[in-house]
Chain A
């Protein structure tokens, strides 16, 4: 398609105007569109980002599923550490602090599912230093799985080894911190 204005360059910007139900289509190249003063349409200047899309998604949350009193409660929902309200979050699409993840945990669950194709639980790297006990717990989990597999295959000698490994790791954990 050729630009309507200069009739030289290919049209890369396609605008649709609807005024009183009457639809007009305009096809321009970048050069002419810029001269037309439609600069705001360019990705560079528009400021339209993932956050706009995201906040659309977030706002979509409440009205359908929730009944009125609940949406009212949601608007009052606030993170006690950074004072961000859930309402603010749905507008800007970004959290104020790490505690927001706890404060809005209930509302977050379906959002995370939608954003990460159904996933809500982290399965990646764990920080080396602060993640010490988490590492050990994950290791125990994996070993327990392995233990079940070995038992199912009746490889009892190997299973016993794995069981001992689990015991020593569990001992390590209880030394580290009681209760946790």
Chain B
């Protein structure tokens, strides 16, 4: 498969499009957890109940279109190859839990991959909307609409006092988790992040690395989300998160300005060294790749590097994950083979950008 073809198929809209404030906020996500009344939760439900729920989705939602989202496709976990599942995880469309531990799990995926509804994960239904840039309110609106669409066909487990009943009491109430992925290289370089994270935690928000709980953030990318789901309205939860994100955006912009002022040439040097590594290396580990991609992205944002599209960080961060590399290779790869292919993929992707820029100049 050629790289261009692979990219066309692999890249979902939130990776390739730009949204508001997308120099810092890579994506915004809303998740709603819902359960169907009279069915036991996935923690204990029988195989028969699980299959019935999948059938409900086949009957009412699979192959249906909803507004601008296009047709929905129902992907059943037990019909997918391990690599296919891994790719869905790396694209943040399904959780590792759904991919690995849910034999009756399924995923209702919209054509543009903005919406992915997980079925029979920890809860019966998890509606997820993933938008490029800083668009939490828009994503919440979309999730709410889809929630109403679902409710038209199934009765939710709901209690007037406790709200939407979820399998885990950490999600009860609104069942809402709102999160944003942010690229914060300047706050890391100026060593402010260590101070900021505890402050954010005190506000009832959680800060994590890109893929789960690990404290280290690959490529200076952080995920910030709400922790409390009960006792606040959906709008308030999202507003609270938004105000913290806005402050972080402002802090990061200030830190970038300060860096340019004080360390201009050193910063430029760092950016171009990283670009050199990406453009020339023959073997590269995911961690080094992530760090270099972060530097290059910062270089693009600050105008040191021109002619490369900004979304290259989002795209390559995802595409150089093991699952994607193996899909690109068309089979299983050993870790050192991955590092070689990762280097090759990044080199070729950068060449595509150069070619695009040259063609642009030629006209």
The segment out of A20-28, A96-104, A145-153, A161-169 that lies at the interface is A96-104
Contacts of A81 in B (CB 8 A): 40
Of A60-68, A69-77, A113-121, the stretch lying at the interface with chain B is: A113-121
Q: Dominant SS at the B interface?
A: loop
In the bound complex, do residue B168 and residue A93 qualify as a contact, i.e. CB atoms below 8 Å apart? Answer: yes
In the assembled complex, B257 has its CB within 8 A of some CB on chain A: no
- 0/1 interface trace, chain B 223-250, chain A, CB 8 Å (1 if under): 0000011111110110000000000000
Partner-binding segment picked from B23-31, B72-80, B144-152, B190-198? B144-152
Of the residues A50, A84, A122, A126, contact of B162 by C-beta under 8 Å: A122
Complex alpha-carbon distance, A125 and B213, angstroms: 29
- Report which of B165, B204, B213, B230 forms a contact with A120, defined as CB distance below 8 A: B230
Asked if A116 contacts B173 (CB within 8 A), the reply is yes
Interface residue A17 (Cβ < 8 Å from any Cβ of B): no
| Residues of chain A contacted by B236 (CB below 8 angstroms) | 123
Q: Are A94 and B122 in contact (CB under 8 A)?
A: yes
A36 at the interface (CB under 8 A from B): no
A54 contact set on B, CB distance < 8 A: 168-170
A108 at the interface (CB under 8 A from B): yes
Given known contacts A123-B233, A125-B234, A95 and B163 CB-to-CB distance under 8 angstroms: no
B272 at the A interface (CB under 8 A)? no
Which of B151, B176, B232, B287 is close to A128, meaning CB atoms less than 8 Å apart?
Answer: B151
Residue B168 contacts which of A51, A127, A129 (CB distance < 8 angstroms)?
A51
Interface size class of chain A, counting residues whose CB lies under 8 Å from the partner chain: 35 or more
B96 partner residues in chain A, CB cutoff 8 A: 44
Q: Please tell me which one of the listed residues B159, B167, B230 contacts residue A112 in the complex, with CB atoms under 8 A apart.
A: B230
Mark out the residues of chain A between 124 and 138 whose CB falls within 8 Å of any chain B CB in the assembled complex: 124-131, 134
Contacts A43-B212, A94-B168 given; indicate if A119 touches B230 (C-beta within 8 A): yes
Q: For chain B residues 136-172, which have a beta carbon within 8 Å of chain A?
A: 144, 147-148, 151-152, 155-165, 167-170, 172
User: Is B263 among interface residues, defined by CB-CB distance under 8 A?
Assistant: no
Question: Which chain B residues border A93 with CB–CB below 8 Å?
Answer: 168-169
Q: Are B174 and A125 in contact (CB-based, < 8 A)?
A: yes
Q: A116-B231, A131-B158, A134-B160 are in contact. Are A84 and B44 (CB under 8 A)?
A: yes
Q: Are B161 and A121 in contact (CB under 8 A)?
A: yes
Given A116-B229, A134-B160; A125-B144 close (CB under 8 Å):
yes
The answer for the CA separation of A82 and B167 in the assembled complex, in Å, is: 13
Measured in the bound complex, the distance between the Cα atoms of B168 and A92 in whole Å is 9
B158→A95 contact, CB < 8 A: no
Given contacts A120-B231, A122-B163, contact A97 B40 (CB under 8 A): yes
**In the complex, what distance in Å separates the CA atom of A111 from the CA atom of B168?**
12
Hey, which chain A residues are within 8 Å of B170, CB to CB?
50, 54, 115
* Residue in chain A with minimal CB distance to B122: A94
Given contacts A82-B44, A122-B231, contact A112 B157 (CB under 8 A): no
A interface residues with partner B (beta carbon < 8 Å):
12, 30-31, 43-44, 48-51, 54, 81-82, 84, 92-98, 101, 108, 111-112, 115-131, 134
Q: List 24 A-B contacts (CB under 8 A).
A: A50-B170, A82-B41, A93-B169, A94-B41, A94-B168, A95-B43, A96-B43, A98-B35, A101-B162, A101-B165, A115-B228, A116-B173, A119-B228, A119-B230, A119-B231, A122-B162, A124-B232, A124-B234, A125-B144, A125-B174, A127-B156, A129-B151, A130-B158, A134-B160
- Apart from A93-B169, A116-B229, A127-B151: 19 A-B pairs, beta carbons within 8 A: A12-B216, A49-B213, A54-B169, A54-B170, A92-B43, A94-B122, A95-B167, A95-B169, A97-B44, A98-B35, A119-B232, A124-B232, A124-B233, A125-B147, A125-B233, A127-B164, A129-B151, A130-B155, A131-B158
